[in-house]
Structure 1
Amino acid sequence: MKTKMWVIYWKELRETLRDKRSLGMLAMFTLFYPLMIGFMLHQGITKSTKTEREGIELAVIGGARAPTLMSQLAQKNITAKETAPMDEEAIGELLRSKKVPAVLRLPDDFTENYQAMRPARLEIWYDSASDRDRQRKDVEDVLEAYGANVANARLLAHGVSPAALTPILVQRYDTGTNASRSAVLIGSIIGILFFPAFMLSMSAAVDSTAGERERRSLEVLMAQPARTWELVCGKWLAASTLAIVGVTLELILAHLILGWLPLEELGMTWSLGWGQLLLVCAVTVPLALLGGALHVTLAMNSKSFKEAQTMISFVLLVPIIPGLVVSFMELKTAQWMYLVPMLSNQTLVTEMSKAGGIGALPFVLTFLCSAIPAVLIIAFASWRMKSERYVLAV
């Protein structure tokens, strides 16, 4: 009896591999998501290190009124470019051109107020809609440090210790590691890699069930000396094989990309080793089997190929919802999360990224929360296949 199931399996798998659409989808999802994640992180690293590599060019109006400030800006790799006086409209036009992240203007009364020890006003103009907000904050940090230095120098000149203005000194000690700080972000990024476990089996499942019904080949296959569960399991395993292979290759490619990127520039790290990755791939196999079981069962219950595709397209949204809810509500990791398919895989990777021991229970729960429903769904589909009305969709 097992032989008959595997005959059906190899028959469906060969037909699937002849389908260029299925192979194209496998290649697209295997490459697309890891490369997209790598590109996004690479852009973030490039953007965060751009200031250190290229420095900041700041437009300054009236910079000669504060030579010490100009020197302090230069020490922080900020080039103060002296600019002719401009009105508000001209400053706004300069900022919209994105040539500079901000414009620093020293009013005419700056020197007078500074020498009289009155607050000397500095104007910093910026565009909050610009993508160079971090550079503007770097400039503001220098201005705040400059103001603090001037205040300390004035207090010392009057015989007052600057420490008198700091009655409480707060010292902060962060015990968090790069792995723990980046675990949530990396976990949410990696979470999208588990979605193809449902996508990759859809085409093969629909074609081998609803498609065969429309082509009138399902009745011929049912007439063969094979039990219904052998027929259903053969189609189920053939459809799920694509998802298993695709997700495994996808996780391996993502692991290589994350290990290659200098995530330390973002205060992040990718701490998973090859052994841990293989465990993640192993507990992801039932998720792919669950996706194949859902698709095969729904497609068999559809009256046409088009109806099967439409129904499954709506069902594909269901596995994403728990992860979105947890992300939006910022829920802490709890035991029940390992009982929800796909969310359990995402939670598992997030906890493993913290570079701490999580024990064997999360792996067992992640494996079973997808494996048990997959077996039950296939058992239900095998039972329904015994009905002629169900097979003929009448």
Structure 2
Amino acid sequence: MMRKLWTVFRKEVVDNLRDRRTLLTVLVFGPLFGPIFYVAIMNVAVNQQIANFNRPLKLPVAGAEYAPHLIGYLRQHNTQIEPAPADPRQAVKDGKADVVLVIPKDYGAAFDAGRPATLQLVMDQAKQSAQKNVSRARDLLEAYEREITALRLLARGVDPRATTPLAVETVDVSTPEARAGMLLAFIPYFFLFAAVIGAFYLAIDATAGERERGSLEPLLTTAVARSTLISGKLAAVTLFSAVSLGLDVVALSWSQGLIPAAKLNIVVNFGGHTALAIFLVMLPFCLLIAALLTVVASFTRSYKEAQTWLSFIFILPMIPVFALFLFPTEPTIWMMFVPALSQDVLATALMKGMALGAGFTAISVLSTLIFGVLLAWLAVWLYRREKVLG
């Protein structure tokens, strides 16, 4: 039996190694999509954030002549004062300005009298792209307010520290690896994506493809038992999934050197040992996704129909990953019973240098393997039925 299984396995592997589309998917697109996308997005985001921080704040001001001291303060703090539009509210509403500072005529009189001097920041709270400039303008005005308050207290012989009875010091006990949490949040998604796409075309070709070419019935009527035949095909699909996953892990590990982590004061723990550990904890998912794709593809009649149905499978493993991203929570045991979610949690913990314990890993591996074996058994059962030929 093992010899026949090996023969089927070898045939599937060799046949698909000759298929250029499968090779490009498994060896190029699947493994390299994640690293290229990740490095590009992270570099653009970090460089844009640094550029925005260093770039002068362009602030249109109406009534600048009423507050020369404030205008001087703003200019000293990397602010470029510009003439305000005729209608500040309409300009902000139309997107012609992110924020406009309006200084009323009575500002100077109230300021000199020691009364609260009104300022208006015209902004659009619903416009997300403008919020950085709005926050910068608000922070500058609040800093100016604190400075004036301190000067007024000193002029009256009062120590400004009397207005701050508490001196709260923040003690950050997080490690540089743990601070990389947001940076690492989407990396497990690329691992899962690579595993799925590595199995995708081979699972279709081994099932719906055989049926469409008319070679499925002759295969099932050979001396090889159907259970052996489908097991060999499943083993080949699992191998291609694992190869795609392994290449993706290596590529993402290497790509960390292209991320400007030092600029963010973080450390990404993704060296060789971590990459190997991640590959091993993700490996059971390859069997599960290979079996799932094979089961779903067995119900389809053509290659195109299989592609349509299996495209939805891409979404399923990502649901728990996105749920964890949107509603972050600490790792718990129940998560280890959910395939894809458990691999996401373990991979993230490894990259952050967190120790979850052997129990977490064991439950994740065993539960995912059990689901994978059950789906593999279902695939074998389906191919034992005569309806699979129709």
The offset of 1:49, in angstroms, is 0.8
User: 2:79 aligned with 1:78, yes or no?
Assistant: yes
1:118 to 106, 115, 118: 115
Q: Which residue of 1 aligns with 2:133?
A: 135
Structure 1 window deviating more from structure 2 (39-48 vs 334-343): it is 39-48
Whether the 8 Å CA contact 2:185–2:325 is kept in 1: the answer is no
CA distance in 1, matches of 2:128, 2:314: 37
CA distance in 2, matches of 1:341, 1:88: 54
> Where in structure 1 are there 5+ consecutive unaligned residues?
none
1:280 to 278, 281, 295: 278
Structure 1 window deviating more from structure 2 (353-362 vs 227-236): it is 353-362
1:60 partner SS: strand
Partner amino acid, structure 1, of 2:362: V
Q: Which residue of 1 aligns with 2:231?
A: 233
The offset of 1:276, in angstroms, is 0.7
TM-score by length of 1: 0.87
Q: Which residue of 2 aligns with 1:348?
A: 346
Q: Which residue of 1 aligns with 2:357?
A: 359
* Deviations, residues 239-258 of structure 1 (Å, cap 9, x unaligned): 22222122222222222333
The percent identity for this pair of structures is 31
1:271 to 269, 272, 288: 269
CA distance in 2, matches of 1:360, 1:75: 56
Partner amino acid, structure 2, of 1:48: Q
2:105 partner SS: coil
Whether the 8 Å CA contact 1:294–1:377 is kept in 2: the answer is yes
CA distance in 1, matches of 2:251, 2:180: 20
Q: Which residue of 1 aligns with 2:43?
A: 42
Q: Which residue of 2 aligns with 1:375?
A: 373
Whether the 8 Å CA contact 1:259–1:270 is kept in 2: the answer is no
1:385 partner SS: helix
* Deviations, residues 7-42 of structure 1 (Å, cap 9, x unaligned): 212211222233333334333332223322223222
1:195 partner SS: helix
> Where in structure 2 are there 5+ consecutive unaligned residues?
none
User: 2:23 aligned with 1:23, yes or no?
Assistant: yes
1:243 partner SS: helix
1:137 partner SS: helix
CA distance in 2, matches of 1:91, 1:147: 27
* Deviations, residues 200-242 of structure 1 (Å, cap 9, x unaligned): 3122112212221232322322343323333112211222222
User: 2:189 aligned with 1:191, yes or no?
Assistant: yes
TM-score by length of 2: 0.88
The offset of 1:316, in angstroms, is 4.2
Q: Which residue of 1 aligns with 2:99?
A: 102
CA pair 368-130 structure 1, distance change in 2 beyond 3 A:
closer
1:167 to 165, 168, 178: 165
* Deviations, residues 259-301 of structure 1 (Å, cap 9, x unaligned): 3211344464422222111111122222112111122233334
* Deviations, residues 305-331 of structure 1 (Å, cap 9, x unaligned): 455444434444332333344444444
Partner amino acid, structure 1, of 2:55: E
Whether the 8 Å CA contact 1:187–1:353 is kept in 2: the answer is no
Aligned residues: 388
Q: Which residue of 2 aligns with 1:2?
A: 2
CA distance in 2, matches of 1:160, 1:298: 77
User: 2:69 aligned with 1:68, yes or no?
Assistant: yes
1:172 partner SS: coil
1:212-361 alignment to 2 at 5 Å?
Answer: 212-266=210-264, 268-305=266-303, 307-361=305-359
CA distance in 2, matches of 1:168, 1:89: 39
Structure 1 window deviating more from structure 2 (290-299 vs 54-63): it is 54-63
Whether the 8 Å CA contact 1:48–1:266 is kept in 2: the answer is no
CA pair 373-15 structure 1, distance change in 2 beyond 3 A:
same
Whether the 8 Å CA contact 2:92–2:100 is kept in 1: the answer is no
Partner amino acid, structure 2, of 1:392: L
Q: Which residue of 1 aligns with 2:198?
A: 200
CA distance in 2, matches of 1:156, 1:198: 67
Partner amino acid, structure 2, of 1:107: P
* Deviations, residues 165-190 of structure 1 (Å, cap 9, x unaligned): 22333333222234324325523443
1:171 partner SS: coil
The offset of 1:348, in angstroms, is 0.6
* Deviations, residues 357-383 of structure 1 (Å, cap 9, x unaligned): 333333333332322322333234334
CA distance in 1, matches of 2:389, 2:188: 41
